[in-house]
Copies of this chain bind each other. A is one copy, B any other.
Amino acid sequence: MASAAAPATGTAPRGRIDKRQAILDAAFEVFAVRGYAQALVQEIAEQAGVAKPTVYNHLADKETLFRATLTAAADAVMDGNLATLERLRSPGDDLRATMNEVAHELVRSCCDKRSRSLRWLTYAQVARFPDLIEVVQGRTSVRIAEAMADRLARLSLSGHLRPCDPVLAAEQLLALITGPLETRSRLGTRVVTKAEMRTLAEAAVDTFLRAYGPGPAEA
């Protein structure tokens, strides 16, 4: 994945880093397909092209490997979403259009294989690693919600939205965006067409703006 640019001068430690990354990448793929319990360390090692003990040399045990894998994946997923939300800083003339874009992008991200696997793996291991939810959601859902709340607060102050609790508004907007999507995709087991994704994104924005747009009365 990232082993391309390695300069020839990278001696020992570079190889180590590459190997660790290769293991984490392989681990995510295997965990994503099998789930935690069914994933074999053996298979992860093979996928990473290393021997089993090498995995243990880098990551203490299966649980550590799982935590590191999910944490890394959470960071990767978050980066994309936070970038998307940046667009709401300067909504331009047409707020609805901008929000549609953002919503659509979030919908797409939500359907992404990596994102879906991350949510699934997290949810699936609540019983075994309850604290993982805090870690992962703290780096994804919660940060997205906070960033969204920030944007909505600004929009409210600038009169683009009616006065409101920005935290609740953000939660509801995200719920409107992702909720129907999860319903229709049956938690990701059914494919959702591109057209449906766009429709759902626009419907979410429409409902949100009807509820939170500047009221005509207050105008």
Binding site for B on A (CB under 8 A): 33-38, 120, 122-128, 130, 133-134, 137, 141-142, 145, 168, 171-172, 174-176, 178-180, 183-184, 186-189, 203-204, 206-208, 210-212, 216-217
Contact = CB atoms under 8 A, between A and B. Distances in A.
Contact of A38 (B120, B128, B134, B137): B128
Contact of A183 (B127, B171, B183): B171
Contacts of A142: 183
Given A34-B127, A124-B124, A186-B134, A171 B180 contact: yes
Copies in the complex: 4
Given A133-B187, A183-B141, A216-B216, A207 B123 contact: no
Contact of A37 (B37, B126, B137, B204): B37
Nearest to A206: B211
Nearest to A137: B186
Contacts of A168: 180, 203
A200 B187 CA distance: 23
Contacts of A212: 207, 210
Contacts of A35: 37, 124-125, 127-128
Contacts of A123: 120, 123-124, 187
B133 A189 contact: yes
Given A34-B127, A35-B128, 8 more contacts: A122-B187, A124-B125, A130-B189, A137-B187, A168-B203, A172-B179, A210-B210, A216-B217
Contacts of A186: 133-134, 137
A35 to B, nearest CB: 4
Contacts of A130: 189
